[in-house]
Amino acid sequence: MVFPDEDIFLHFFSLALASNSFFMPPYKVFYLITVISLFTGLRAVVAQKTIYSAEHIRKIAYADSVLKVAILKKDSLQIAEGYYLLGKIELSAGNFLTSHVWFMKSLRIQEKFGDSYELGRLHIRIKEKEQRQGHFDEAFQQLKIAEGIFKRAKSNAGLMRTYSSLGELYVDESLKNRVQPSKNIQFNIDSAFFYQKKAELLAIQLKDSIGWANIQISLGKLLVLKKDPRAITYFQHAYNEFARLKEDNERVSAMLFLASAYLTFNQPEKVPDILKQIQQFYEKQHLHHYAWLRSLETSYVNYYKATKQWEKAFIHLEILKDLERKELMADQEGAITRLEIEYETQKKEALLTKKNEELALSNENSRTQQLFLRTLAALFLLTAGLGFFYYQLSRKNQQISQRNEVLIREQNHRVKNNLQLVSSLLSLQANQFSDAASKQATENNLLRIESMAILHRRLYDKEELAVINLADFIREIAEVVLQTFGYMHVELDYKVIPVKLNADQALPVGLIITELITNACKYAFPDNPDPRLTIVCDKEKDELELTIADNGPGLKNNLLVGAVKQSFGMKLIQMQVAQMRGTYNFNFSAGTTFTMKFKPDVLL
């Protein structure tokens, strides 16, 4: 905004005043002087950049301290409270975008904990932001969300606050003057009165005296809009209650509303006593709060205008303008001074901390050196004794290791022989069976024993005992089963990440893979012109996901699926998965796909 030069403006005003002062009524002179006064103040306000007052800085410092403590304690709800406080501060400063960011951060945390008073309160604050931006439909929606939250949380205190906010929303002057009417809400004094009365009933039920008194003020303001002199009674009730509770600040606010109501309903004779009481209160309490003083001076101006005492009205208007200018300067200077003091304090504290740390470090170094020399002498003696003891122990361990190596070789040889013997016995038994089902079951057991033998070879025929490479282990089992059934030509899609497992988990994996590939050779590959087998093992977070799939016909019949689930092979798979504390599932829609997830004990 561009203003004309103030001197030129005043020059033309003085000419106009000189030429017309004898012909202009006093109240017109007063209004013309008012324009000049407001012009100067408006220049100061527009030129003033958005800054934080000293009060805002104190509140931000408090919210920041709450947030830091909450982060250290890893307290999510307290972190959300810190975000809420920062959003409220930015909203009071008129920084809508910044306040929205903080409110959304708080909302994301609060929603995870379900319905609560704090969550509903946050939606009411978001409503306030939307209302101040002129987004009345969004503000109305936020209050409806808050109402639902408070009802589910059974919070009458929250509902009282919601209904009071709804009442305030219905009589927003900006809503009244909108060119495009809102979809969900229209300016309506009766609706506002209805919601404020609901809030009043809840305040009485909760025995919330302060809340009740504030609602009395809201109801009084509504009656002023309706030109109803009962507004004076409501303001008087609020004043009496605040006086009884010794809430001085609220009592003064009620008195200002009461004075305004007396002027509205043509009872100006009652206003001077009220303003005098407020003035005495300010002087007694030594208050220098610019907002309060500004409200008092505004009341004086309105009173003297109503009683046509133009000179006194102009005097108080000048005081009001001076207060506004001082408030702007105090906010700016207070913010800068506070920041400077905080900077200097932090700098001094940092220097003092550094000196204390240097002194403590020097003392610690001295003690450490003395302790080091003593420890070094003791370690020298201890090392000599331990050296001799270690030499004797190493000789004994070497002898034990040699004996253990012999025993392990003998044990492995016997296990191999035993597995080979069991395999030979089962082969002989299978050849004697005339029943195809019995013969097939025996051959399946042979494959299971073969997978155990493969596991045994990979576990103990190398230097690293009791751990296998899962990729090589799975590939060897797959090749053995395919070779047994004569399907070496099957296209094998093999993608297994390098993983090492211990014996307790390798054996169940081997038995499961043997069972699944055996089933694929029996049911998926016969009469299949292009048989394919897919084996994939990948890492997902701290779990392994193993997938084995074939391109067979799958199982389309639910009865067949049920029969398969009751088979011995399926029960064996279930037992092995349960042993590894894993999960699995089958998909029979396109071929057969088996997926298993489990957490490995060894993952190298």
Query: Could you report the per-residue pLDDT of 171-205, keeping only the tens digit for each?
Result: 888 877 776 777 888 888 999 999 999 999 999 99
Q: How confident is the model at residue 12 (pLDDT cuts 50, 70, 90)?
A: very low
Q: What is the rounded average pLDDT of the residues 43-53?
A: 43
Percent of the chain with pLDDT over 90: 26
DSSP 49: P
Task: Report CA-CA distances (Å) from 42 to 1, 4, 111, 292, 296.
Answer: 10, 13, 43, 20, 20
Residue 334 CA to its chain's centroid (Å)? 34
> Which of 236-245, 323-332, 558-567 has maximum average pLDDT?
236-245
pLDDT band of 159, cuts 50, 70, 90: very high
Q: State the Rg of the chain over Cα.
A: 43
Q: How many CB atoms lie within 10 A of CB 449?
A: 16
What CATH architecture does domain 467-598 belong to? 2-Layer Sandwich (3.30)
- What angle (nearest 5°) sits at the alpha carbon of residue 356, between those of residues 354 and 357? 65
Average pLDDT, the chain: 78
Domain boundaries, the chain: 467-598
Q: Is the pLDDT of residue 248 over 50?
A: yes
Is the pLDDT at 111 greater than 80, yes or no? Answer: yes
Compute the distance between CA of residue 203 and CA of residue 212 in angstroms, rounded to an integer.
5
Phi-psi region of 484 (alpha: psi -120 to 50; beta: other; left: phi over 0): alpha
Range in 167-171, 297-301, 396-400 with the lowest mean pLDDT: 396-400
DSSP designation for 599: -
pLDDT at 325 over 60: yes
pLDDT higher than 70, residue 482:
yes
Whether 477 shows a pLDDT value over 80: the answer reads yes
Query: In this predicted structure, what is the pLDDT of residue 437?
Result: 65
By percentage, how much of the chain surpasses pLDDT 70?
Answer: 72
Residue 6's pLDDT is what? Answer: 41
Model confidence pLDDT, tens digit, residues 327-380: 666 555 544 544 554 455 455 556 656 766 777 787 888 888 888 888 888 888
pLDDT for 436 equals 64
Strands, E, within 69-227: which ranges?
A: none
- Asked whether residue 518 carries a pLDDT value surpassing 50, the answer given is yes
Nearest-5° Cα angle at 206, 200 to 207: 85
Tell me the sheet residues that pair with 592. 550
Q: Specify whether the CB–CB gap between 570 and 588 falls below 8 A.
A: no
For position 352, what pLDDT does the model report? 56
pLDDT at 381: 86
Bigger pLDDT: 452 or 333? 452
Most confident of 127-136, 464-473, 563-572: 127-136
pLDDT band at 63 (very low <50, low <70, confident <90, very high): confident
